[in-house]
């Protein structure tokens, strides 16, 4: 069964299927890459919690930067956020993002937390 949450005509923020959680691309507010990455990851945390998962269950992440010169700055935030021993498969590339003010977008796929 496929479950879609926060669905509009264009997309769903969360899609769940067979124990896997797919999040739509998340962007954040702020002036700097650090601020936008922190806000973006806070949004990822909230969506994962709503979907029955968390950052320790992330399987894969794709990160888009508007400028690869911001790679180290984004990584400083990312590295502090990912729980030790739970680094997902990850890719990072440069792309023109949906709005000129955006510096980072993160797309996450995670496993649901096991029921206890």
**Residue 112 · residue 53 · CB < 8 Å:** yes
Q: Using DSSP, state whether 46 is helix, strand or coil.
A: helix
Give the C-alpha separation, 55 to 79, whole Å: 12
If phi > 0 it is left, if psi is from -120 to 50 it is alpha, else beta; for residue 34 that is: alpha
Answer for the pair 104, 29: CB distance below 8 angstroms, yes or no.
no
The residues assigned a catalytic role are 92
């Amino acid at each position: 069964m496929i479950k879609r949450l926060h669905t509009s005509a264009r997309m769903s923020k969360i899609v769940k299927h067979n124990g896997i959680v797919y999040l739509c691309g998340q962007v954040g507010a702020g002036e700097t890459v650090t601020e936008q990455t922190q806000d973006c990851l806070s949004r990822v945390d909230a969506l994962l919690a709503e979907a029955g998962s968390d950052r320790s269950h992330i399987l894969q992440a794709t990160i888009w930067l508007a400028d690869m010169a911001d790679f180290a700055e984004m990584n400083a935030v990312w590295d502090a956020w990912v729980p030790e021993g739970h680094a997902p498969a990850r890719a990072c590339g440069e792309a023109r993002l949906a709005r000129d003010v955006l510096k980072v977008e993160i797309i996450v796929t995670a496993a649901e937390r096991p029921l206890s």
